[in-house]
Chains A and B, each alone.
Chain A
Amino acid sequence: MNTTRDLQRLSAATALCLVFLSAPLAARADGAKKPAPTNPVWQEECGGCHVAYPPRFLPAESWKSMMGSLDRHFGTDASLDARAAATIEAFLVQNAKRSKTGQKADGSILRITETKWFRSEHDEISAAKWKSPAVGSAANCAACHPNAEKGSFRERDIKVP
């Protein structure tokens, strides 16, 4: 009886370790090491207005603060019923960007395009290109990342219009 329980605990602990160990791999910009985590409620609700941005793009603190202010979501009302909001928040937090050991994540940034990594990944894109009709907005990931809807942003797939 106890052995079974111990085994269960051990496997749960192992699973947890694996989650943490594999997170940095998945967090790499071009790392399609494993399929990106998905959730049907997140896909449906967040994907209703824009690409359902992958949880790994922001730290947990940012997601929590965003989910707490959906009625004022970048100039629009994106309010959700409490159940859907709780499901989405749990998914986002669980798969959020993890900070390096000893570093505190900056949860004050809510706009993905304002994060350091986004800026450095896109520093070669001119202002004119961002505003071109084919792109229109930095929110339009799929303009250059054809598999953005599927959560894949691999370098080799990029096609700048």
Chain B
Amino acid sequence: MKRTANIGALAAMLLAGSLAQAADPLAAISTAARTDKAFSGFSAERGAALWERKGKDWSCSTCHTTDPRQAGRHTVTGKVIKPMAPASNPARFTDSAKVEKWFKRNCRDVFNRECTAQEKGDVITWLRSIKP
């Protein structure tokens, strides 16, 4: 009996934990994007175009390849990067802190500036639209 109760409590804790993390990272980005009056939603098409846009030396596709269903490779260190499309890698875009950390770093690497909420939302929308 006691054991069942313990398992129940553990399950409740795990559920609460996963619910706390379950907020969609795109929701927060969308809230930020809406502060711009001109905002009219995200576009997968614009996201796809941004993916290929070359900044200083690189584009997103330099490391992540032109097919986000495939694994990429860090252009400097050679480290394999898991696919960015949730169709191939469901863990993508499930953790807001991770999403923001990588957008910040990688947009600075590629475009020498941080990306706007519009750009981030467009890219996520595109990557999520890709079928397996």
Is the pairing of A and B real?
A: yes
Distance of B96 from chain A, by nearest CB (Å): 13
How far does the alpha carbon of A79 sit from the alpha carbon of B109 in the complex, in Å?
11
Report how many residues on chain A are interfacial, defined by Cβ distance under 8 Å: 18
A76, B105: Cα distance in complex, Å: 8
Distance of B112 from chain A, by nearest CB (Å): 10
Task: A50 to B75: give the CA distance in the assembly, Å.
Answer: 11
Which applies to chain B's interface (DSSP): helix, strand, loop or mixed? helix
Binds A, one of B3-11, B14-22, B29-37, B76-84: B76-84
A-B Cβ contacts below 8 A, count: 35
**Interface size class of chain B, counting residues whose CB lies under 8 Å from the partner chain:** 10 to 19
Contact check, B77 vs A49: say whether CB atoms are below 8 A apart.
yes
Give me the interface of B with A, judged by CB distance under 8 Å.
74, 76-79, 101, 104-106, 108-109
19 chain-A/chain-B pairs, Cβ below 8 angstroms: A49-B79, A50-B77, A50-B79, A51-B79, A74-B76, A76-B105, A76-B109, A77-B104, A77-B109, A78-B105, A79-B104, A79-B105, A80-B101, A136-B78, A137-B76, A137-B77, A139-B76, A139-B78, A140-B77
